[in-house]
Structure 1
């Protein structure tokens, strides 16, 4: 059995980034681990320092259980360089090149509306973007 992975984003505003990635990926808030009924209840066991709150983290999951979980955690230091690992968002379907490119651009526009930013377009192939905190990701075509 292959190992499963989770991806973790360091950030300045966990709730802002969580809202963006839920929109981008169709993810939902991950329920707290059993036996806890709420995230607040789960976090209480860690005795957080006074300057930290439950809003300093967010945990997201693919509602179908296919994609990796995302942890989004507030950290004190800012992002200083290009990501060494990034997410590729694949719009479904192959089709003719112009149809595929139209789907890619439409998805990029949708993500701009959610707070993302276009960094560069590679005409006909993919769009490099950044989330609201500057984390790079790409939008391209994928399997149907």
Structure 2
């Protein structure tokens, strides 16, 4: 039996990163867990500190329930080092190497418009990028 897992990103601006990663992955805001009607109601059940704001976190999931959930949580400390784990955004579709590369480039261009930065291109294979807060990830073709 396998064990499920979620990915969590620490951040300075949860709303900014949530919007970016929804664009990157096609994810949506995850509904609150039962029996709560709203995410705010769920958060209130933990008795959060007075200085915590509603936009201090975001919870995302794939619309079809595949893939790990993504939690994006605001933290006080700044990012100080390169991530030791990164996300690979896999662009679907088959075809020739040139067609796959064109889809990778198009996805990277879309993510630049959403606030990402291209760090390095490995022509024909993958593109290393950073999200709006500097978290590195790769854009590559889906495995065949």
Q: Is the TM-score greater than 0.5?
A: yes
Q: Counterparts of 1:82 and 1:131 in 2: how far apart (Å)?
A: 12
- Residue 79 (structure 1) aligns with: 79
Unaligned runs of 5+ in 1: none
Name the SS of the counterpart of 2:108 in structure 1: helix
- Residue 38 (structure 2) aligns with: 38
The equivalences for 1:1-144 within 5 A come to 1-143=1-143
Report the number of matched residues.
Answer: 144
Deviating above 3 A after TM superposition, structure 1's stretches of 4 or more consecutive aligned residues are: none
Structure 1 position 30, deviation (Å)? 0.5
Q: Counterparts of 2:33 and 2:116 in 1: how far apart (Å)?
A: 30
- Residue pair 1:93, 1:143 contacting (<8 A) in 2 also: no
Q: Counterparts of 2:5 and 2:48 in 1: how far apart (Å)?
A: 26
Indicate the larger mover: 89-98 or 100-109. 89-98
Name the SS of the counterpart of 2:41 in structure 1: helix
Aligned-residue RMSD, C-alpha: 1.0
Q: Counterparts of 2:88 and 2:66 in 1: how far apart (Å)?
A: 15
Unaligned runs of 5+ in 2: none
TM-score, length-scaled by structure 2: 0.96
Structure 1 position 94, deviation (Å)? 3.2
Q: Counterparts of 2:142 and 2:45 in 1: how far apart (Å)?
A: 42
Name the SS of the counterpart of 2:105 in structure 1: helix
